[in-house]
Amino acid sequence: MAVTLGEMVEVLETLYPLELAESWDEPGLIVGDPSWPVRKVYCAVDPTEETVQAAVDAGADLLITHHPLYFRATHTVAGSTFRGAMVTTLIENHCALWVGHTNVDSAVRGQGFAFVHALRQWGLDVVDEGPLVPSSTLEGCGLGRMLSLVSAAENDDEVTLKDFARAVSCILPATVSGVLVSGEPERVVHRVAVLPGSGDSEIATAHAAGADVYVTSDLRHHPVLDARQETGMAFIQTPHAAIEKLVFPILVEDVSAALTERFGQEGSAVRFEITELNTDPWDMRL
């Protein structure tokens, strides 16, 4: 007996409750019959034609993506549209699609946790101070993270903005667009706010929390320029998909453990693959 898609969804949505999702978001099971068996899971940030085909080619029964296939309500999944064609491909190959978006962002061991974990693995001594934007729904959950650098606060080995930005760059998958830094390179960094994904709406929150530097993606010219002058805070802009890919090793570890605990041998038999495809949209930098 294999774990069914319905059982897999129950595990996923226990770890990443849908009630954590933002009001505009609709994560969860998008494609697939709950009775389908799940023996292999393929993980990717974005549901693109490439990642869907890669999941099918890998023999996956379930594709887990971070970003939704549909951001807005739709009235057609016809194969004549590129999203509809992906739905058709998934169904024809009995490959389901489950989306974990802002519910994964806000989970206890979600995107913010994954960023802190990656920094620690790289060698930085950091203290996780909890969510940048606490959830009003579940205690301990919320968007982003506040963290402090122990090496900067307690030892003589101070961490500069340049040093910290280099660490951020090293923990991310390589992309053409790369990491951008706004701030004096030699300034010392003590406290960091991070919000993986698009985060310039929380610049004021990061400043109010006492951040020396704010790490996020998709920053715009005017908000950053104004905030530099008004707050003196530095910024590190990361490629959107690259920073959000950090969560998948954590997701695989947590889901695998939950499956084994709940279903024993059948649960431990489920295999996972994290895509090596780069879905950053930029292909050239001149």
**117 appears as a binding residue in the annotation:** no
Do 77 and 109 meet the contact criterion of CB atoms below 8 Å apart? no
**222 appears as a binding residue in the annotation:** no
The count of other CB atoms within 10 Å of the CB of residue 187 is 15
Single-letter amino acid, residue 1: M
How far is 285 from 143, CA to CA, in rounded Å? 31
Closest CA to 172 of 252, 104, 108, 236: 236
How far is 42 from 61, CA to CA, in rounded Å? 8
User: What letter would DSSP give residue 140?
Assistant: T
**212 appears as a binding residue in the annotation:** no
Do 2 and 232 meet the contact criterion of CB atoms below 8 Å apart? no
SS3 track for 87-120: HHHHHHCCCEEEECCHHHHHCCCCHHHHHHHHHH
**184 appears as a binding residue in the annotation:** no
Strand residues in the chain grouped as ranges (E): 3-4, 28-31, 37-38, 40-44, 62-65, 96-99, 126-128, 133-134, 142-143, 145-149, 180-182, 191-198, 213-217, 234-237, 271-274
**240 appears as a binding residue in the annotation:** yes
Q: Which two tokens stand for residue 191?
A: 């406290």
User: What letter would DSSP give residue 160?
Assistant: B
Torsion region of 142: left, alpha or beta (phi above 0 gives left; psi -120 to 50 gives alpha): left
Known binding-site residues for a divalent metal cation equal 66-67, 105, 240, 244
Known binding-site residues equal 66-67, 105, 240, 244
